[in-house]
Amino acid sequence: MEFHHVSVLLNECIENLNIKPDGVYVDCTMGGAGHSKEIVKRLSDKGLFIGFDQDKNAIATAKERLSEYSDRVRFIHSNFENIKEELAKIGVHKIDGVLADLGVSSHQLDEADRGFSYMQDAPLDMRMDIRCDFSAYDVVNTYSEEELAKIIKDYGEDNWAKRIAKFIVEEREEKTNEGGRVCIITFHSLEDRIVKNEFRDLALDCVCPSHLPICQCDKESLVKVITRKPILPSKEEIEENPRSRSAKLRVAERI
């Protein structure tokens, strides 16, 4: 996807950085390099621009968009919380200006699989740096109720933080784990039919009448049926245990 982001307060930022042509400037959050390019354009070949970003897509885009200024540009794929250590690595100990745009980029919101937008159906991710193993999914599914409440309160400033955290924990306790299996043995045709129909209904992702052109029910498939036909006991098992003769096993998997 094209890395699209409109730089906010662009002219005001450039004006207030009061850029010196031979100076050293840092953009802590390059994104699509909108602010960055305007800074670099004002530097001489003796100046230096250093761009930070956690997002590898942002780094790749910035390298392309600033390619004509490669003699005065350095890119650092890291969180700007590491600014002192990272600058020291390249021998920079003083700078003339720094810029940080703390908003999420339009690119991250628009790209569904990044999991930042609530407008699109995608796995919860929200990693700025996809090299990290830990995602928002892990927070929601592993943090305690107290930890979730603190995050929601501190970073969301939500007065309902404790109640929201309670709902999250209650909801995840009710759900079978993804990939979890449900195995049900029945001994009567009526029981088997009930299980078969229930599995079928849980597997459907739409229950709208067939004449409707688009789905309006918003139903989601919850399981994948593993056994289209029931598993029956073997001849050997029936001989060893005659009571197993009428047994039927049906299996479904949580998705």
Rounded to two decimals, what is the model's pTM?
0.58
Write out the DSSP string of the chain. Answer: -----PPTTHHHHHHHHT--TT-EEEES--TTSHHHHHHHTT--TT-EEEEEES-HHHHHHHHHHTGGGGGGEEEEES-GGGHHHHHHHTT----SEEE---SPPHHHHH-GGG---TTS-------SSTT-S--HHHHHHHS-HHHHHHHHHHHH--TTHHHHHHHHHHHHHHSPPTT-EEEEEESSHHHHHHHHHHHHHHH-S--S-TT-SS--S-----EEES-SS-B---HHHHHH-GGGGG-EEEEEEE-
> What are the tens digits of pLDDT across the range 176-235?
777 878 888 898 999 899 999 999 999 988 878 877 778 777 778 888 999 999 999 999
What is the CA 207 to chain-centroid distance, rounded?
29
Rounded Cα distance between 90 and 74, Å, is 9
Q: Within 10 Å of residue 92's Cβ, how many Cβ atoms?
A: 16
> What are the tens digits of pLDDT across the range 106-122?
666 777 778 777 677 77
Architecture of domain 181-254: 3-Layer(aba) Sandwich (3.40)
Q: CB neighbours of 39 closer than 8 A, spacing ≥ 6? A: 14, 17, 19, 25, 27, 49, 97, 99
Nearest Cα residue to 33 out of 12, 58, 69 = 58
Q: Within 10 Å of residue 53's Cβ, how many Cβ atoms?
A: 28
Rounded Cα distance between 35 and 173, Å, is 45
Q: Indicate the fold that domain 10-99 takes in CATH.
A: Rossmann fold (3.40.50)
> What's the chain's average pLDDT?
88
Q: What is the mean pLDDT of residues 61-80?
A: 96
Task: Write down the domain spans for the chain.
Answer: 10-99, 145-174, 181-254
51: pLDDT strictly greater than 70: yes
Query: How do beta strands 248-254 and 181-186 pair?
Result: antiparallel
> What are the tens digits of pLDDT across the range 133-166?
888 888 988 999 999 999 999 988 889 999 999 9
Rounded Cα distance between 55 and 129, Å, is 5
32: pLDDT strictly greater than 90: no
2: pLDDT strictly greater than 60: no
Rounded Cα distance between 72 and 84, Å, is 20
Q: Does this chain's domain 10-99 share its CATH topology with 181-254?
A: yes
Angle between helices 161-174 and 145-156 (to 10 degrees): 140
Q: CB neighbours of 22 closer than 8 A, spacing ≥ 6? A: 43, 44, 46, 47
